[in-house]
Amino acid sequence: MSVQLRFRDLTLGYERHPAVHHLDGVVEEGALLAVCGPNGAGKSTLMKAISGALRPLHGSIDRAGLDPRDIAYLPQSAEIDRSFPIHVYDMVAMGLWRRAGLFGGIGRADRARIGEAIAAVGLEGFENRPIGTLSGGQMQRTLFARLLLQDARLILLDEPFTALDAKTMSDLLDLVRRWHGEKRTVLAVLHDFDLVRAHFPQTLLLARSAVAWGPTAEALAPENLLKARRMGEAWDETAQPCEAAA
């Protein structure tokens, strides 16, 4: 199987404060990978860097020639402006920007696709609801419908199931499995280890550096979880990124 992502001595940070240090490894095309670790481990930072929103301080990310438009990124719910005056239908329709452009017209076929995406996440009848009136679960369904329309080869999900009811989580996990079945590459930042063990065959356990990376049962072994917790507690937030080895 071909490689979708390759990290070479990747170091990430903000204003030179450390976040991820010297990450090396590959993500195969079609992988279903959970990214786990303690708070402040660099998980969201890694997702932003993969999406292209954050430039490395050192090292590189090779996306195997993937066009940025073929990357779909769902940030944490706290980063979504729920006060923006837009309805569910238009929020979902934004997933078509890759093909039509931000100001492109929406034809009959596009309207059919939007309707199908809304139906796929169980939001029929919510098309004219302002997003500010939605529950957390309804908002997440809206965002997943937008992802469906993006039709991306690489999908990045940052804590996509936080504070969701069991039915919504189950429905959205079905979509993740659908993407995996379509050989798309899916990376998801997750905190629920039971959920990871049940649904994600591969895991990167991160604590600013990679603690373990491989089959989930091995990566989430008790000794690795303990090591990740200790590494997370040991980091100095004011430290500068360490220099690359010669």
Which pLDDT does position 202 carry in this prediction?
98
Query: At residue 236, does pLDDT exceed 70?
Result: no
Tokens of 167: 């039915």
Query: At residue 111, does pLDDT exceed 70?
Result: yes
pTM (whole model) above 0.85: yes
Cα distance between residue 205 and residue 98, in whole Å: 32
Which pLDDT does position 216 carry in this prediction?
98
Confidence of residue 244 (pLDDT cuts 50, 70, 90): very low
**Domain definitions of the chain by residue range:** 1-66+154-228, 85-152
Query: At residue 243, does pLDDT exceed 80?
Result: no
- What ranges in 33-157 are assigned the alpha helix state H? 43-51, 88-93, 97-100, 108-120, 136-150
Which pLDDT does position 105 carry in this prediction?
63
With a CB cutoff of 8 Å and minimum separation 6, the contacts of 26 are 3, 5, 6, 7
Cα distance between residue 230 and residue 228, in whole Å: 5
How does DSSP classify residue 110?
H
Tokens of 157: 């999900």
How confident is the model over 39-86, as pLDDT tens digits? 989 999 999 999 999 999 999 999 999 988 899 999 998 778 888 889
Tokens of 55: 């430039």
Which pLDDT does position 109 carry in this prediction?
85
What integer best gives the mean pLDDT of the chain? Answer: 91
Distances (CA, A) of 64 to 11, 23, 27, 46, 81: 19, 17, 11, 17, 32
Which pLDDT does position 138 carry in this prediction?
96
Cα distance between residue 133 and residue 85, in whole Å: 11
Cα distance between residue 105 and residue 96, in whole Å: 10
| CATH topology classification for 1-66+154-228 | Rossmann fold (3.40.50)
Among the listed residues 157, 181, 180, the one whose alpha carbon sits nearest the alpha carbon of residue 169: 157
Confidence of residue 246 (pLDDT cuts 50, 70, 90): very low
